[in-house]
């Protein structure tokens, strides 16, 4: 019973600090990494799975001035034999919004996930992630970008 409450407390604490931790300085290059497996809203049959190749998954956007909005595009290719469906995209923080392609991506075709970062009140180094859910064997992916925001004078 204590163990159950301990893990629940960790989950709540992690949720509350996710945005703060995403803004900490990072010295290592951003990379794509698999997200932990999660239950899908609708079960996907293995016959409906495809493959994705990330063309852009980790981006270093240099520096911008505080208050500017930064546009980010992550390109990918469906390298499988079934239509690729991007089910969901979730940014790690409210300062970033992302949109997924509404239509399935045909085998052999390319698509993009577009995002925008609002640098208002975000001076210093920023490391942000976007979690993508798709109909692939590895269901979730973490895309990332780094940007340094120059404080307003």
Residue 46: helix, strand or coil by DSSP? Answer: helix
What was the pLDDT predicted at 42? 55
User: Model confidence over 2-42: pLDDT tens digits?
Assistant: 444 443 343 333 333 334 343 333 333 333 444 444 444 45
Which is it for the CA torsion 55, 99, 46, 143, positive or negative?
Answer: positive
Q: Which residue has tokens 């979690």?
A: 131
Mean pLDDT of the chain: 79
Phi, psi of 151 (to 5 degrees): -60, 140
Residue 92: pLDDT band (50, 70, 90) is very high
Give the global pTM.
0.70
Query: Domains in the chain, start-ordered, CATH in brackets?
Result: 2-150 (2.60.40.10)
Cβ atoms of 115 and 92 closer than 8 Å: no
The Cα 127–Cα 77 span in angstroms is 25
SS3 content of the chain, % helix, strand, coil (to 5): 15, 45, 40
User: Model confidence over 97-125: pLDDT tens digits?
Assistant: 999 999 999 999 999 999 999 999 999 99
Tokens of 35: 């997200």
Residue 57: pLDDT band (50, 70, 90) is confident
In this predicted structure, the answer to whether residue 140 has a pLDDT above a threshold of 70 is: yes
């Amino acid at each position: 019973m204590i163990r159950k409450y301990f893990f629940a407390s960790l989950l709540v604490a992690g949720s509350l600090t996710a945005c703060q931790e995403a803004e900490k300085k990072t010295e290592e290059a951003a990379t794509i990494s698999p997200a932990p497996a999660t239950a899908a809203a609708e079960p996907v049959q293995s016959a409906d799975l495809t493959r994705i190749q990330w063309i852009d998954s980790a981006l270093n956007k240099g520096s911008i001035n505080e208050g500017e909005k930064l546009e980010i595009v992550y390109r990918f290719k469906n390298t499988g034999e079934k239509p690729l469906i991007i089910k969901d995209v979730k940014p790690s923080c409210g300062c970033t919004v992302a949109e997924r392609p509404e239509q399935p991506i045909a085998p052999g075709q390319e698509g993009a996930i577009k995002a925008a970062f609002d640098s208002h009140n975000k001076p210093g180094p920023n490391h942000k992630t976007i979690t993508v859910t798709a109909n692939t064997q590895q269901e979730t992916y973490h895309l990332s970008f780094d940007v340094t925001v120059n404080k307003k004078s």
